[in-house]
Amino acid sequence: MTVLQQMGQRAQEAARFLRTVSAKEKNGALLSIAAHLEKSEADILKANGLDIEATKVSGMTSSLLDRLTLTPKRIQDMARSVEEVAALPDPVGKVLGGQTLPNGLRMQKVSVPLGVAGMIYEARPNVTVDAAVLCLKSSNACILRGGKEAIHSASALERVMREALEESGFPDGCIQLVKDTSRESALELMKLNRYLDVLIPRGGAGLIRSVVENATVPVIETGVGNCHVYVDASANLEMACRIVDNAKTSRPSVCNAIENVLVHRDVAEMLLPRMKEALDQHQVQLRGCPETVRILGDCVVPASPEDFDTEFLDYILAVKVVGSLEEAIDHINAHGTRHSECIVTESYENSRRFTLEVDAAAVYVNASTRFTDGGEFGLGAEIGISTQKLHARGPMGLEELTSYKYILEGNGQIR
């Protein structure tokens, strides 16, 4: 039996235990995790320092380094988020529906955990905690596999959480981290059908594609955000500049940041210089179509076809001038990743058409795409943004980490 199979076996045993624990017991374990995170701040920062030093040697973009870096405040924020999860309603055991059948059987549809969830992600230590506590709250055991860039940080966080669970009387199979960061371990996890009920990748396009192409375990796609803002001919241009600036520069390394701006030709001459002035405050590189280059000049890098399909996760923005709303919608549906899309417009008719025809988990009218987040939606913490359509779409919170089963009670009915 391989190491991963042994982990899978422990996770299944833990999942069986978690199906029996009360909401009070789970919340107590979560609050213990929050307390242990704060108490172990020095050890966590020391481990994170090892990861940061290693990435400086190997080379990493500033935005990815920001994702990797932990600070005392970020650890405190982790602890607060765990406490917030503990305060959320328990998603398990809810009666979703029911009826008495003509034969007298009493039927109830009840929410239940998925079972054992696998998670593959990249250089974001906070995902280790987010995924673990959301799974715990929804009574799922989890097997986590982060990237090699954050392995010291993730290992320290796993150790802290498992110590808290042990004190709370929970089995060690509830939260497990794969220490082997080789490609072989990832491939084995993708095919661990006997033990995993679902696999959730969270990261860049390459990671998502690898999981979708190689996994035999059921997969929920999350995370890739090639998001757009389309500025319509009727748009308030001051509003458009604010939205584009916020959606690109407030935190470019996250999946709900925009990577593309589409501008209607009727307002391009007026908007693009103003937009560039705002983005220049953050040294954003513009990669534009020929029309954009004509308007803004040599400061714009001529865009390649690949630029309109790229999730930069950096201070880089692709810009294209379009001739109509229809062209913008066609472009988004062809190049987007079904994450978050925005139209800036004063036309109700155009906004209505955009929201109906654009295929994405979240579609905005006159607002930044940066709001696509479980907390911002009032849904609590989330494990990622699902960009697919089956089972879950949009922020994957506690409800999306459950399934349901039917419970039927009778008095001797036979068929």
Give the amino acid at 224: V
Alpha helices in 232-369 (DSSP H): 237-249, 265-280, 290-296, 325-335, 348-357
| pLDDT surpasses 90 at 277 | yes
- Identify the pLDDT of residue 3: 97
Residue partners of 291: CB distance under 8 A and separation at least 6: 265, 268, 320, 321
- What does the pLDDT look like over 98-147, one tens digit per residue? 999 999 999 999 999 999 999 999 878 989 999 999 999 999 999 999 99
Mean pLDDT to the nearest integer, 175-188: 95
Query: pLDDT band for position 71 (50/70/90)?
Result: very high
| pLDDT surpasses 90 at 282 | yes
Query: pLDDT band for position 370 (50/70/90)?
Result: very high
- Identify the pLDDT of residue 122: 84
Give me the sign of the Cα torsion angle 277, 280, 284, 289.
Answer: positive
- Identify the pLDDT of residue 32: 98
Q: What is the mean pLDDT of the chain?
A: 95
Q: Are 94 and 46 in contact (CB under 8 A)?
A: no
Stated length of the chain: 415
- Identify the pLDDT of residue 123: 77
- What does the pLDDT look like over 208-220, one tens digit per residue? 889 989 999 999 9
DSSP string, 100-135: E-TTS-EEEEEEEE-SEEEEEE-S-HHHHHHHHHHH
- Identify the pLDDT of residue 199: 96
Q: Are 30 and 82 in contact (CB under 8 A)?
A: yes
| pLDDT surpasses 80 at 84 | yes
- What does the pLDDT look like over 283-315, one tens digit per residue? 999 999 999 999 999 999 999 999 999 999 899
Distance CA(196)–CA(142), nearest Å, equals 9
Mean pLDDT to the nearest integer, 273-277: 97
User: The pTM is what?
Assistant: 0.86
| pLDDT surpasses 90 at 90 | yes
Query: pLDDT band for position 24 (50/70/90)?
Result: very high
For residue 264, the cross-strand partners are: 322
Query: pLDDT band for position 253 (50/70/90)?
Result: confident
Query: pLDDT band for position 280 (50/70/90)?
Result: very high
The percentage of residues in the chain with a pLDDT greater than 90, rounded to a whole number, is 87
| pLDDT surpasses 80 at 27 | yes
Enter the tokens of residue 300: 């714009």
Query: pLDDT band for position 207 (50/70/90)?
Result: confident
| pLDDT surpasses 90 at 379 | no
